[in-house]
Amino acid sequence: MKKVLSLLVVGFLLQASAAFADVIQDWTSVQSGMAGTYQDSNGSKIDFTYDAGPKGSDKALKMTCNLVANGYLGVYTGGTWDLSKAASLKFMAKSTIPGDLQIAIKDTYNVQYITKVSIPSTDWSLVTVNLSSFTKDPYYTPPDAIAGHPMDLTKVGNLNFSPQMQGASVVLIGTIETAGTAGASSANSTSTVATGAASSSAPAASTASSGTSTAILDCTGITDPKNGGTFQDTMGSTFTFTAKDNPNKKGQQYLAITYELKQGGYCGMWSRAGGADWKGANLTGLKNISLMIYCKDPVVLGLALKDNNNNQYVADTPMTSGGKWETVTVAISDFKLDPYYTPPDAKKGAPQDFSKVATFNIQPKTVGKFTVAVDNMVAK
């Protein structure tokens, strides 16, 4: 893996300004030698070319892939861009097989960071990549990386794409643009952006929506160490949580979280799912997980579910807007096998089985200090 990914760190120097710009790649000026492919040695194959974009008059990167089980493949593209002023990247994309796309960048210190987004449709769809969602690549450190620094997006080198859809697929990526303005919640900021407790600054969550649903979060007894706990890196990230009474829903509580996530680090919590009886939550036949989130600033939360075979599956919520209670939804089909962690009691190779989800995790992805409230986490 490292040998193949070493291709990604060749010193590309695209003749383009590193200054902030709306369009960072329109696929019309990729110079010779500035793009190429990589794949495993187990049979995965990938080729690329440039094709018509969503407008017909523009261009798109077209990747023709055949990904084998447990393999990898991708396209690297070279460049130098200043993304420090942007909150996110956006582009139109489509795939013959909807699924995940892993994106990798190198920062000013040549450290590689990765994130995943979803290409939801076979038709052109808008994809937003929150720059705050990039985390340090746990599998690969470029040989020229300078360790010990927070992620610095003032000089981003390389923009690499790795489709995750197993089997044959064709993936197209249109013009890539910056979007929004980097604020306190962006990946290259470490300032405190939420200082007040959610109970004092946020209105109580509204009542649950109608329809058949299965509760995942039950705050009853959640602070008992037998029912929930926290985890964090050794880089200074912290995470605490408690249950608070909801003044607008008598007898009910919501989850109040305070965390600080260091760049390249991790932190989060685990909890038993469903209820206090540890019978778990049956998600068979259900389509989505929705939850209500309040934070003064936009945030992304990572979710993890431990299935009946004790394998862990992960997905991220969309980024919130901030400043109000918001309902976000994650499709259950978006949950993929966790590439970074396998529980010791997992039945490796077993198919996904959400007939009993015994525990779930909440793992923030937005770097910085935040106070977040979570309520009404249900599967529908």
DSSP-assigned letter for residue 86: -
Q: What is the pLDDT of residues 169-212, one digit of tens each?
A: 999 999 999 988 775 333 333 222 222 233 333 444 433 333 36
The predicted structure's pLDDT at residue 121: 84
Give the Cα separation of 110 and 274 in Å (integer). Answer: 43
**CA angle at 54 for the pair 51 and 56, rounded to the nearest 5°:** 65
Confidence class for position 227, pLDDT limits 50, 70, 90: confident
How many CA atoms lie less than 13 Å away from 259 in the CB half-sphere? Answer: 32
Q: Quick one: which of 355, 299, 361 has its CA closest to 326?
A: 299
Share of the chain above pLDDT 90, in %: 49
How far is it, in rounded angstroms, from Cα 226 to Cα 199?
A: 25
Q: What is the CATH number of domain 198-379?
A: 2.60.120.430
Rg (CA), the chain: 21
Instruction: Give the whole-angstrom CA distance, residue 337 versus residue 354.
Output: 12
Q: How far apart are CA 128 and CA 143, in angstroms?
A: 30
| Mean pLDDT lowest among 27-36, 103-112, 199-208, 269-278 | 199-208
pLDDT tens digits, one per residue of 88-103: 999 999 999 999 999 9
* Phi, psi of 255, deg, nearest 5: -90, 125
pLDDT at 183: 54
Cα distance between residue 369 and residue 346, in whole Å:
33
Q: What pLDDT, in 10s, does the model give residues 206-216?
A: 333 333 678 89
Residue 325 burial (CB count, 10 A): 19
Beta bridge partners of 328: 291
pTM assigned to the model: 0.51
Measured CA to CA, the distance from residue 232 to residue 95 in angstroms comes to 36
CATH dotted code for 2-179: 2.60.120.430
Task: Provide the residue ranges of all domains of the chain, joining segments of one domain with +.
Answer: 2-179, 198-379
* pLDDT mean across residues, the chain: 83
Q: Is 60 a residue whose pLDDT tops 90?
A: yes
